Structure 1
Amino acid sequence: MCEKARASENLAQAEGPANAAPGRIWSILARAAAAAFIVRESLNLWQWSDRHVTLDARFSARPGKYDSAYTYYIRGPMEALSDRRIRQVSIVKGAQIAFTTMLANWIMYLVDMDPGPTMLAQPTRRMMKRYVKKELHDRFLKTPRLAKYIPANRREKFTTEEMYFTSMDLFATGVGSPALVSSLPIKNVAADEVDKWNTETEIEASALDLIEVRQITYKAQGTSKFVVGSTPTVPEMPISIQAAKGTQERYFVPCPECGHMQELKFEHFSWSHIKKNRHSGIGVRNKDGSYNLDLVEKHTAYECQNPGSLDGTSRPCGKLIPHEKKQWMMRRGEWRAQNPNAPADHRSFYIGGELSTALTWGMLAKKFLETQHLPGGLHNFYNSYLGRAWERKTGGATRKSIQLIQEASPKFNLWQPQDPAAALVLPFRPIAITMQVDVQQLEFYYTMRAWMVDGARATIALGSCVSYKELVDLSNRVWLFNHPDGGPSEEFTVWSGLMDHGYKSKATTGVNNFIVDQGGRWVATKGGKYAGGRDLPINETTIIHNTEAGQVEIPLIHYTDSHLKEWLYRFVIKERRQPPLWLAQDLPPDYIEQLTAERLVPKRNAEGRTELKWDTNGIDPHFGDCEKLGEIFNFLLPADLRQKIREKQDSDRAALLEKLAAT
């Protein structure tokens, strides 16, 4: 027996007695050692993929023969994945950069070219099963090169979680429970979307750490490969930390005009140069000052950043490069390492959406303009599209920032809708009134907002009550706006309400029953760490609720809690982003205390790393939670809907006045 095979056998026997399935581990290691001595053709990953992979229309926008040259920048990471000198590859990625296809190709490459026990780990078991069933299995079965490795008994040996090829074993798992990934020795690991993994618990290390431990056997042989990739979230999360340890490579491309090599950055996209059409008179700006998104999408260009030479021998370029030149630039680009102190066996790459062949520069510009004024919009745009970690600022709302908002608001005091005799006459004309409720065990906290056609919103009432009946009574109170034309007052009641889903089973059941009884006027909400959608921090869905009459479907809005908190406390209150929040002159002390209680502060986690966490300093921010829910109406009342409501109001008003004049 050769020394390499003997070492594999000794290591397997050493681990065997401590493992619940020593025979299984021995089988994995023995097969891996035997596979190491099979002579194979010398191809790197992208060469192998170009030769053997065909893409299916069900999971690719470009079905047919795979061609790595189309996403030329991906060849660098693919070379790193098949380079046996590299032990770790870390990839920080934006939208549509071909990462999913690359990962699948790598796993198929391993089966044929570099077999060994491999693990694919995704954030949840549900995500893993969907990916394996709908995509990965089909890729395996429809690649002729892999036919000889597919097990004969597919029912038992080719499941979603365990695939026993004749050359190697592949395990797929979700990491909701770290125990799922803490047993078998693994040679290769593909850890996908690690920033969305559960972090470490008090009783067990993080799933990422546990997976790395499974590679100790193969690390000792110098044959392991650890691939970690993710859309980033914030700098203190795993993918940013892992990538910072590596080579930190960025892709540089030449300007077609001057040849200057530069990294494509969204900050250098340009759409201000778009001229008015001399026939239609339409330019990049509409008459109301908003952007003409169709023109932005069609004509956004990239401005060359060549600064020229200091001695004046070459002049700055500054030419506008159309998107149609991007492929030319891509195929002449190169990866450049930015970290000279990186270990020789760890390459890391930053692949932003600016490089994506599936997204035009205009599409990115349009998405930016569409989302920049929405809660969490910039956070999501930077993460999901540009592939950049979002830099948060510590702190929160202050008493001074609340005072500045009061000074800039129309002058009004809070109304008292809980008093049946109180007059509710507004000094401004809203398009809708909304209500937001934070549910507690013994009481409800609420705020009410009047929304203006331009997106400004005024907190017009707040308080607490103890019953659902009181909430109904409050929402049914009639608010008035007196028009200067002397006609009848315009009447408003609460158009829609958002209610916290409750944190106890009893409270949740009560909320669900209330939502059903109100017949669509109210919607339940539930916050979470990554509860929102890909583009926005909310996800509108439904849940099944059991009632005495049977099962009913009720609306539920999931939202990413940290995004909405940052939007409310930083952008709306502290930085006073437009359109504005209007606050009354007579805000009660408990409202101000609760809005200023929640702050983003640095804290050390169980791994000893510093993370930014929201902290309330022991104060329950009920009114802050209500106002946070209120910001969700930015999505439910978008600008076009607000305008349509106002047009309908004006039309109804004109018809009423005409009818009165006729009588």
Structure 2
Amino acid sequence: MPRKKENSLPDFISKPLRHLKPPENLTVSEWAEKYRILDSKSSAIPGKWDNSITPYLVDIMNEFNNVETEEIIFVKPTQVGGTEALHNMLGYVIMQDPSPVMIVYPTDALAESVSENRLQPMLMNSKPLREKFKKAESSRLELQCEGMYISLNGANSPSSLASKPIRFLFLDEVDKYPGATKKEADPIKLAKERTKTFPNRKIFMTSTPTLKTGHIWKAMENADVIKHYKVPCPHCGEYIELMFKQIKWPKEEGMSNADRAEFANYVCQECGGIITDQHKPQMLKYGRWEIIEQKTQFPRKVAYWINTLYSPFVRFGEIAKEYLASKDDPEAFQNFVNSWLAEPWEDTKLKTNADLVLERQTEYEEFEVPDWAVMLTGGVDVQETSLYWTIRAWGPFLTSQNIAHGQALSFREIEQVMNAEYRKRNGETFMVNLCGIDSGDQTDEVYEFCALNSEWAIPVKGVASGYSHFKISTINKASSSAHGMRLLLVDGDKYKDMIASRMAKPNGRGSWMVYKNCDREYAEQVTAEHKVNVKTGGGRVKQVWVKKTSHADNHYLDAEVYAFAAADVLHVRNIHLMLEDENEKVNEVPQVNKQSMDFNNAWLKNIEWF
């Protein structure tokens, strides 16, 4: 017979005292490390939960303890632990603050599967949770715990979402929910209605995004605060946001995509240092969430966004390999954008890609003017730290070719590039006839520069759709040295349409081409946007050009737009008419090289654009 412990209390006293004992003073992340046990059936790292493996989840989980926050939105890729964070919040509620809970999955079948394979094992693996779980009284879609119940529902069964008052609402993979119909309301709205009677309610919503019109992306855009995770560079110490465009891999010919991806590393956007997979754990450990947008002083809805680059389970090489394998397949690339970059996919109507640009290489070397060209125009995209420039040769029927492009650090360099002489193979020399310079950034400096170089430079300003393609206006800023000077207003989307359509033409008459051995960086930038359908406020659909991914650089594309607009100002569309008047043969391109310099000079002399 076991010996009775001294000073022990009888059951009729000890049991009531256990119920009166206050819960531990723990945050969700602290609770998880103390009580959460992962099993080998649902986790690659079974055993006790360790916050140091996925430190970016700590702040998300602890936001659940913020009494001011009503709604937490987590926009995520796959393989970063988002669903496990949801399970930790659920376990915390069961032990620390028992109240009615509802978890909504895309379908009833998925809800049953998660209950059987993940939730019930989680409750049974942890002794404190097991003591709270009433397995005998539970069903697969309703788990009974001490002082509460957990209702598991599918978004495809709206009637089940409208019958239970609940305090804690968890919405998992919301972009896979069915949409609202004429007979039934939006399942998310129906579920949220169940929380109205609880002033201290909490709603956690998570999903991989699909489209910009999807539930999770719209929820993030409507949040009061949006946060991104930033990590310190191991070389310069600056806090950086991990972006896909900074993953670099070898470009040697002869290597397969899989082999190239194996050598992929991350290049710090601040110092250029090489960051490897071995650096990632320490970077994540010292990372922090930073607010990138705050709409109110008293936020109630807080959104978090992260991509696969932060996942401790995925190497940089795996991400590069997935991109290289999917970039030419629209369906596969959509999965990459959604599930790896955690960005919405656009309903693309007009597509371009870097490989298409590189197919447009001609026999002409860099800086060499094609035999058929009759004039050159330039474009400059002005950024805070540098200037991206391009020079394009033009011939009859809008035939064009990029002969040079680059990145300058000052306007002095732009002046040198645009005033340099460029030659044909027969020795004829050309200079840039007109260059459009972006005045949206560093406006005063651009105006002053164009005023000093007015014979070849004109400031450019983008305008909304409405003008045919361009319009000449006047700078009316009295304090500027460029007061009274011409200002070129450009509808960028219309020129991007023309670039994309002519890029699709095979090399020859009317095609948009590039020089021999053109670099891929330029090709990536001039195809960094695609045209998509978007809904306006009135419910109408219109097509606009947007970046394919949020971090994509499109500076060379903007520069090419300005070069095209500059050519339009010089009446480039009428070149073939002038040549016919001069009895030149222009039926085949390239053919126009006879007396092209004389024609160039006569053409520019006869037009009046200022």
Q: Secondary structure at the match of 2:343?
A: coil
Matched, 1:55 2:38: yes
Aligned length: 356
- Structure 2 counterpart of 1:253: 231
**Does the Cα contact within 8 Å between 2:267 and 2:274 map onto a contact in 1?**
yes
Query: Which residue is equivalent to 1:524?
Result: none
TM-score, normalization by structure 1: 0.50
Q: CA deviation at 1:113?
A: 0.8
How far off its partner does 1:295 sit? 4.4
Contact between 1:44 and 1:83, CA under 8 Å: does it hold in 2? no
Aligned residue in 2 for 1:534: none
Measured in 1, the distance between the counterparts of 2:505 and 2:25 equals 59
User: Taking structure 1 as reference, are residues 170 and 321 closer, same or farther at Cα in structure 2, changes over 3 Å only?
Assistant: same
Matched, 1:208 2:188: yes
Alpha-carbon distance between aligned partners in 2 of 1:263 and 1:333, rounded to the nearest angstrom? 10
Question: 1:296 is matched with which residue: 247, 254, 261?
Answer: 261
Residue 146 of structure 1, aligned match among 129, 135, 139:
129
Which whole-Å CA distance do the structure 1 matches of 2:192 and 2:284 have between them?
34
Alignment correspondent of 1:101 = 84
- The AA in structure 2 aligned to 1:360 is R
Q: What residue identity is the alignment partner of 2:58?
A: R
1-structure distance, mates of 2:147, 2:289: 33
For the 8 Å contact 1:250–1:350, the answer to whether it is kept is yes
Aligned to 2:116: 133
Q: Cα distance 1:326–1:577, how it changes in 2: closer, same or farther (>3 A)?
A: farther
Q: How far has the Cα of 1:198 moved from its partner?
A: 0.8
Deviation string 1:214-252 (CA, Å, 9 cap, x unpaired) is: 11001xx2x100111100011111101111223110001
Q: Unmatched 5+ residue regions in structure 1?
A: 1-34, 273-283, 307-316, 398-403, 409-569, 580-598, 614-663
* Contact 1:36/1:115 (8 A) holds in 2: no
Q: Could you tell me which residue of structure 2 aligns to residue 330 of structure 1?
A: 284
Q: In 1, Cα distance between the equivalents of 2:245 and 2:535?
A: 32
Q: Distance in 1 between matches of 2:505 and 2:315?
A: 28
Aligned structure 1 segments of 4 or more residues deviating by more than 3 angstroms: 35-38, 573-579, 599-605, 608-613
- Contact between 1:371 and 1:377, CA under 8 Å: does it hold in 2? yes
1:372 alignment partner AA: K
| 1:262 paired residue number | 240
- Residue 248 of structure 1 aligns to a residue in which SS? strand
* Contact 2:224-2:294 within 8 A present in 1 as well: no
- Structure 1 residue 604 displacement after superposition: 7.8
Report the CA distance between 1:139 and its aligned residue: 0.6
The alignment partner of 1:141 has SS state of: helix
Which residue number corresponds to residue 197 of structure 1? 177
1:231 match: 208
The 3 A distance-change label for structure 1 pair 204 and 42 is same
Report the secondary structure of 1:70's partner residue.
coil
Kindly provide the CA deviation profile for residues 269-305 of structure 1, in whole angstroms up to 9, marking residues without a partner as x: 1113xxxxxxxxxxx5452xx63413423x3111111
Name the CA distance, whole Å, in 2 between partners of 1:43 and 1:178.
35
CA contact (8 A) 1:151 1:165 kept: yes
Aligned partner of residue 83 in structure 2, secondary structure: helix
Please show how residues 403-422 of structure 1 align to structure 2 within 5 Å.
none
- Within the alignment, does 1:384 sit opposite 2:308 as a pair? no
Distance 1:83 1:37 in 2: 24
Q: CA deviation at 1:83?
A: 2.5
Cα distance change, pair 292–113 in 1 and its aligned pair in 2 (3 A): same
Q: Deviations over 1:144-172 (max 9, x none)?
A: 111221226x1xx2211111111211000
The one-letter amino acid of 1:213's match is E
1:347 to 290, 295, 302: 302
Residues 127-152 of structure 1: CA deviation (Å, up to 9, x unaligned): 11111111111011111111221226
Q: How far is the alpha carbon of 1:391 from its aligned partner?
A: 3.3
Structure 2, unaligned runs of 5 or more:
1-17, 361-496, 507-530, 544-610
User: Deviation string for 1:544-565 (max 9, x for gaps)?
Assistant: xxxxxxxxxxxxxxxxxxxxxx
Is the 2:230–2:239 contact (alpha carbons within 8 Å) kept by the matching residues of 1?
A: yes
Radius of gyration: which is bigger?
Answer: 2
> Residue 366 of structure 1 aligns with which residue?
321
SS of the residue corresponding to residue 376 of structure 1 reads helix
Amino acid in the other structure paired with 1:333: G
Task: Please list the CA deviations of residues 481-529 of structure 1 after superposition, one character each: whole Å capped at 9, or x if unmatched.
Answer: xxxxxxxxxxxxxxxxxxxxxxxxxxxxxxxxxxxxxxxxxxxxxxxxx
Paired residues of 1:95 and 1:386 also in contact (CA < 8 A): no
Match of 1:191, SS state, is strand
CA distance in 2, matches of 1:182, 1:134: 26
How many Å apart are 1:70 and its aligned residue? Answer: 0.7
Indicate the percent of aligned positions where both proteins have the same amino acid.
Answer: 27
Aligned-partner residue type, residue 246 of structure 1:
D
Q: 1:177 aligns with which of 157, 167, 186?
A: 157
Maintained 8 Å contact 1:300/1:323 = no
> 1:318, CA displacement in angstroms?
0.8
Report the CA distance shift for 1:303/1:117 in structure 2 as closer, same or farther (over 3 A). same
Does structure 2 conserve the Cα–Cα contact (< 8 Å) formed by 1:285 and 1:292? no
Distance 2:225 2:29 in 1: 21
- 8 Å Cα contact 1:301/1:362 also seen in 2: yes
Instruction: Indicate how the Cα distance of structure 1 residues 351 and 36 shifts in structure 2: closer, same or farther if over 3 A, else same.
Output: farther
Give the alignment of 1:208-607 within 5 angstroms. 208-218=188-198, 221=199, 223-244=200-221, 245-272=223-250, 285=252, 287=254, 291-297=256-262, 299-306=263-270, 317-342=271-296, 343-393=298-348, 395=349, 601-602=533-534
Distance 1:255 1:363 in 2: 21
Deviations 1:57-109 (A, max 9, x none): 11111111110111111111011123233110000001200112111111111
Give the Cα–Cα distance (whole angstroms) in 2 for the partners of residues 330 and 323 of structure 1.
Answer: 11
Letter in 1 for 2:165: P
For 1:255 and 1:185, the matched residues in 2 are separated by: 47
Contact 2:83-2:172 within 8 A present in 1 as well: no
Separation of aligned partners in 2, 1:385 and 1:180 = 33
Offset of 1:610 from its aligned partner?
7.4
Counterpart contact for 1:247–1:347, Cα < 8 Å: yes
Instruction: State the match for 1:528 in structure 2.
Output: none
* RMSD between superposed Cα atoms in Å: 3.0
Instruction: Tell me the amino acid that sits aligned with residue 54 of structure 1.
Output: I
Separation in 2 of the partners of 1:609 and 1:171?
36
